[in-house]
Amino acid sequence: MSNSSHLVKNYDSKKPIVWIDCEMTGLDHLHDHIIQICCLITDKDLNLLDGEGYESVIHCPKSTMDQMDEWCTQHHGNSGLTAEVIASNKTKEQVDKELLEYLKKFMSKGTGILAGNSVHVDRLFLLRELPSVVDYLTYRIIDVSSVMEFAKRHNPTVERLMPPKIGAHTAKQDIIESINQMKFYRDVYFKNEDEISIRDVKKQWEGKDINGNRID
C-alpha cells in the first residue's frame, strides 16, 4: 500500500465530514450559478483535517451578474465578490476537477458526508454544476439548520444561549460558522438536561460570537 493510500485509509477511520458552502447568483438551482465555493474537512469530532481547505471563485460574465436580485447584488457587491467573479478565469469544470482531487486526499469514495447550513440547497447546485464532487460523497447529509430548527422547538433555552453569527456571506466564513455552530450544539444541546449548566454556558459564551470572538 502506498503512503498516500495508507493516509486516506487513516482519514477514513476518522469518518470525515465535508463542509461546503456556496455563494450563488440566486437560489434557483435550475438557472442560477455557483460563483464561490469553500470546502473544509473535519473528522467526526469536528477537528479540521486541513486548515487551508479548498476555495475558489468561478467566472460568470458581467451580463449574468447584472441579472442578480437585489439581495445578491448588494451583498456580493459589498463583499467584493462580484468583481472577483467577473475577473476570475476559473470554470465550473475546472473547479469540479480540483475539488474532487482535494477530496481524494482525505477520503475514499462514498466515505465523506456533506455538511453545512441548509446544505440541501448547495447540493442541488452541486448536482448540476459540480457533479463529480457529489458523486464522490455519500448521499446522506448533515444539515446544521435542521438541528437549529429542532432545537428551537424542543429546547428553546439552548437556542437562546446560541452566540450570534457574523453573517459575512462569504463561502469560507459561512462554513467556519457552520462548523462552530455544530460544535455548540454538540457541547450544549446533545446532552440531557441534567448535564447542562446554563451558568457554565453563559460564562463560556456570553459577549462572544459563534467563533469565540468578543463582541464590542
pLDDT tens-place string over residues 23-34? 999 999 999 999
Cα Dmax for the chain: 57
Q: Are 27 and 42 in contact (CB under 8 A)?
A: no
CATH topology of domain 3-205: Nucleotidyltransferase; domain 5 (3.30.420)
Mapped onto helix, strand or coil, the DSSP state of residue 143 is strand
On the question of pLDDT at 4 being above 80, the answer is: no
Please report how many Cα atoms fall inside a 13 Å half-sphere around the Cα of residue 36, on the Cβ side.
Answer: 21
List the one residue out of 178, 92, 87 whose CA is nearest residue 127: 92
110 vs 58: CA distance, rounded Å: 26
pLDDT digits (tens, 9 = 90+) for 65-124: 999 999 999 999 999 999 999 999 999 999 999 999 999 999 999 999 999 999 999 999
The whole-number pLDDT of residue 158 equals 84
SS3 of residue 212 by DSSP = coil
List, by residue number, the catalytic residues.
Answer: 139
- What pLDDT is attached to residue 9? 65
